[in-house]
Amino acid sequence: MKIVDLTVRQFNYKSQMVRDSEGHAHPGPEHDATGSLLTVHTDEGAEGYCFGAGGHDVIQHVVRPALVGEDPFYRELLWQRLRERQRLHLGTLSDRLVGTVDMALWDLAGRVHNQPVYKLLGAFRDKVPAYASTMCGDDLPNGLDTPEAYAEFALACKRRGYPAFKLHTWQPPIAGAPSAKRDVAACRAVREAVGEDMVLMLDPFHYYSREEALYLGKELEKLNYYWMEEPMDEHSISSYVWLTEQLALSMVGPETAEGKMYTRAEWIVRGASDISRGGVGDVGGITPLMKTAHLCESHGVRMEVHGGGAGNLHVLCAMGFPGEYYERGLLHPFVDYERPEPWLNACVDPMDDQGYVHVSQLPGLGWDINWEYIEGNAKG
């Protein structure tokens, strides 16, 4: 089997999410938006898909020539080839895009072999406990605008069945943010509302000073929080070594630091966190995320998977040294997360009443694609 083409289909949809001036998503007025679907085509008619491909130019001029004519099952070769291409195309060939291509190749393999991807990877389980992961704080009345609002939302998530809850607190441009004291107030309100038996985590503003991050960590220890993520710029590994040494609270990272599994290795060697971190969008797909999982396993360091979606869920179901939770969200009181995106017939991460997300048993990555919607709303 040979790859004969890569195409990107764009389609229109109505979005109720808006981005603030710093790029954080919040609920807002409905507006037109564009979705995209990458397709890998083969000479035998088999296809693989992945949503969310940006960068048409780089796909046409850099990715396509690297893949066309090759065997689509040579995923390692193709991933290494794209990784090398990134050096001269750093501004356009992102890890996220490399990950999209890698996931489309895994999806194709699953469809051809009639197996879900997590079984091709070597299955370990078929369901994962989820944590409710909130959007960033906002100033929307009854949204996520006060510590009390977080507390109320955490209670609603507990009633829905989530065993764990993670706050993303306020960041600029929201008035008054950042404020470590206000973050602690929200964390305290949530703990008091849900009681001691719910697992809680915090992901705050990412550019606090060492002293502010240490203050946050010490306060979270008093509130029996499970972990904290990325309170400082992750490029300063020394700052994370300094912080991790002083906290009993588990530090999780790196998440946004570039460098795929290489960066995770450096953090492990330096002792810059207690639990490592990575997602398909951070490290460049399923292929390097499995390497990262095995790297962590080999060092006896746990790895929590960053972000939701089909690719991350299949990796979680194939990790023998398992990530503990699936990150479900981002959630907000105004958003109905249980409703599938209009281009899908079903959610990729359905959660039962016990808080377990079940991986799809469909071949490939398990998207139940609404082709009628995609064709009917084709852009241009």
Q: CB of 216 within 8 A of CB of 191?
A: no
Closest CB to Mg ion among residues 111, 306: 306
Please work out the total of residues on this chain that contact Mg ion, with binding judged by CB under 5 A.
3
Q: How far is the CB of 304 from Mg ion (least distance, A)?
A: 9
Which region, judged by CB under 5 A, interacts with Mg ion, from 196-204, 208-216, 241-249, 358-366? 196-204
Closest CB to Mg ion among residues 36, 244: 244
Write the DSSP assignment of 311-376 as a string of letters: HHHHHHTT-SS--S-EEEEEE-TT--TTSPPTTBSS-SS-B-TTSEEEPP-SSBT---B-HHHHHH
Closest CB to Mg ion among residues 203, 219: 203
Q: Does 138 bind Mg ion (CB under 5 A)?
A: no
Q: How far is the CB of 159 from Mg ion (least distance, A)?
A: 25
Q: Does 229 bind Mg ion (CB under 5 A)?
A: yes
Rounded-to-5 percentages of helix, strand, coil across the chain = 35, 25, 40
Q: How far is the CB of 166 from Mg ion (least distance, A)?
A: 8
Closest CB to Mg ion among residues 118, 267: 267
Q: How many angstroms from the chain centroid is the CA of residue 334?
A: 21
Which region, judged by CB under 5 A, interacts with Mg ion, from 19-27, 203-211, 324-332, 344-352? 203-211
Which region, judged by CB under 5 A, interacts with Mg ion, from 29-37, 57-65, 226-234, 325-333? 226-234
- In 3D space, the residue among 98, 104, 121 whose CA is nearest the CA of residue 284 turns out to be 98
Q: How far is the CB of 206 from Mg ion (least distance, A)?
A: 8
Closest CB to Mg ion among residues 102, 229: 229
Interface residue with Mg ion among 203, 212, 219, 234 (CB under 5 A) is 203
Q: How far is the CB of 306 from Mg ion (least distance, A)?
A: 6
Phi-psi category of 260—alpha, beta or left, where left has phi over 0 and alpha has psi -120 to 50? left
Measure the CA–CA gap between 255 and 263, rounded to whole angstroms.
10
Site for Mg ion in 309-368 (CB under 5 A): none
Distances in Å between the Cα of 120 and the Cα atoms of 74, 117, 292 are 14, 5, 17
Which region, judged by CB under 5 A, interacts with Mg ion, from 181-189, 195-203, 314-322, 369-377? 195-203
Q: CB of 250 within 8 A of CB of 226?
A: yes
DSSP annotation of 141 reads T
Closest CB to Mg ion among residues 212, 255: 255
Closest CB to Mg ion among residues 229, 349: 229
Which region, judged by CB under 5 A, interacts with Mg ion, from 60-68, 113-121, 126-134, 202-210? 202-210
Site for Mg ion in 241-260 (CB under 5 A): 255
Measure the CA–CA gap between 36 and 110, rounded to whole angstroms.
21
At 36 the three-state DSSP class reads: strand
Q: Does 107 bind Mg ion (CB under 5 A)?
A: no
Q: What is the four-CA torsion angle of 265, 81, 321, 357, rounded to 10 degrees?
A: 120
Name 98's Cβ contacts closer than 8 Å, sequence gap at least 6. Answer: 79, 82, 83, 86, 284, 285
In the complex, the residues that contact Mg ion under the rule CB under 5 A are 203, 229, 255
